[in-house]
């Protein structure tokens, strides 16, 4: 059986940003009982024993955890490569020095646009200037820097400016990832989906930048699923190479799998090894035996593994259906209709976006944030 090489540790869902494409769960109140420092340290040891080599520390905002340095130091002691995925809000020089001393290997900063007002509007809070300053600090401290940009209708025309900004900041890598429609992005799908014309222009800009910056900066560009001929493989295959641990200890084959109506698995109830090898959740869509036609008889069945299970569930209500993104899917019209609306309907503005629900301050939680009980 394949072993996982990467683990996404979602340390908290508390976050100072309110991005309208956030893929975290809508009902944050379910995740208030966050794992303690000792629990995370045990999970990291179990992950390393299972074969994990790369640890991605995310959220929400992982800097909200007061024990982040302890978690990083434990990971370093286990020989894990650590990547901090952050908004950078909370990354002061003192905090950065502490994380470097703890052994943090890499920093990945999200940015919403290359223009301050637009970036702050999308993020739902004043943050652009801090993000740029934090990126400069990361490079001054000799960390590898990745910029991560979620691309959508309201910033895709700024791809050239974003690439220029990444080059100016000395980023080693930039990820331009078109929105995946889960969580808040699903609620905002009509306002977020770009047009074909926008995609064509952006792809031409990216191609030119790759040629110009080859060997200097890595450029990752992920096209929108809805515009693809075939679906993407779910995390290199469901339960094949990656796993996610949520703030309250839930374990998932992919970050969005909390939406599926499947048996749950938790590190508070079972070992990570048992969850990976034996749990019904991780075995439900492993391999190809579960597949219906047209996937079962398709030559691509071990390339894209039937596509995204969460997307299939989101669109059809059945996680075992062929991903409707695939042009061979019997449900492909669901995607084609959404694409048609994005290209023929009235053009939505930034004001049409619904921001992610806010959190409140609390002195009792590990992050100092109290999760809102509001469900949209």
Are 132 and 164 spatial neighbours (Cβ–Cβ below 8 Å)? no
Sorted by sequence, the CB contacts under 8 Å of residue 23 that are 6+ apart come out as 180, 182, 183, 184, 185, 255, 256
Residue 22, marked binder: yes
Render 94-163 in DSSP notation, one character per residue. HHHHHHHHHT--EEEEE-S-SSHHHHHHHHTSS-HHHHHHHHHHHHHTT--EEEEEEE-TTTGGGHHHHH
User: Encoding tokens for residue 70?
Assistant: 């302890």
**DSSP3 helix / strand / coil % (the chain, rounded to 5):** 40, 15, 45
Write the CA distances from 275 to 44, 234, 259, integer angstroms. Answer: 14, 18, 18
Report the C-alpha gap between 72 and 85 in whole angstroms.
13
295 marked among binding-site residues: no
19 is in an annotated binding site: yes
Which residues on neighbouring strands pair with residue 177, listed in sequence order? 150, 222
Tokens of 347: 């053009």
Known binding-site residues for [4Fe-4S] cluster equal: 15, 19, 22
Known binding-site residues equal: 15, 19, 22
């Amino acid at each position: 059986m394949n072993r996982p090489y990467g683990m996404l540790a979602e340390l908290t869902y508390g976050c100072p940003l309110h991005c309208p494409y956030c893929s975290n769960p809508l009902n944050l109140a379910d995740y208030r009982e966050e794992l303690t420092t000792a629990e995370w340290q045990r999970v990291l040891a179990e992950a390393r024993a299972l074969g994990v080599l790369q640890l991605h520390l995310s959220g929400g905002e992982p800097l909200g955890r007061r024990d982040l340095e302890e978690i990083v130091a434990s990971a370093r002691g286990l020989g894990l490569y650590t990547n901090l995925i952050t908004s950078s809000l909370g990354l002061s020089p003192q905090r950065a020095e502490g994380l470097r001393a703890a052994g943090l290997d890499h920093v990945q900063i999200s940015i919403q646009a290359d223009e301050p007002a637009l970036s702050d509007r999308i993020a739902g809070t004043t943050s652009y200037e801090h993000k740029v300053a934090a990126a400069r600090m990361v490079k001054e401290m000799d960390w590898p820097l990745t910029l991560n940009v979620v691309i959508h209708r309201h910033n895709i025309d700024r791809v050239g400016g974003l690439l220029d900004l990444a080059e100016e900041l000395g980023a080693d890598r930039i990820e331009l990832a078109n929105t995946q429609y889960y969580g808040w992005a699903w609620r905002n799908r009509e306002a977020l989906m770009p047009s074909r014309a926008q995609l064509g222009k952006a792809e031409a800009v990216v191609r030119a930048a790759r040629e110009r910056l080859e060997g200097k900066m890595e450029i990752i560009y992920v096209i929108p699923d809805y515009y693809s001929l075939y679906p993407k493989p779910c995390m290199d295959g469901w339960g094949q190479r990656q796993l996610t641990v949520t703030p309250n200890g839930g374990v998932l084959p992919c970050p969005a799998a909390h939406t599926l109506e499947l048996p749950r698995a938790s590190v508070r109830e079972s070992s990570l090894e048992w969850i990976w090898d034996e749990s019904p959740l991780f075995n439900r869509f492993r391999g190809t035996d579960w597949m219906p036609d047209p996937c079962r008889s398709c030559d691509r069945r071990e390339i894209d593994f039937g596509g995204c299970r969460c997307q299939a569930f989101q669109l059809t209500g059945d996680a075992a259906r062929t991903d409707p993104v695939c042009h061979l899917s019997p449900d492909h019209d669901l995607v084609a209709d959404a694409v048609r609306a994005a290209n023929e309907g009235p053009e939505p503005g930034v004001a049409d976006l619904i921001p992610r629900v806010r959190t409140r301050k609390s002195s009792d939680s590990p992050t100092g944030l109290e999760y809102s009980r509001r469900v949209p």
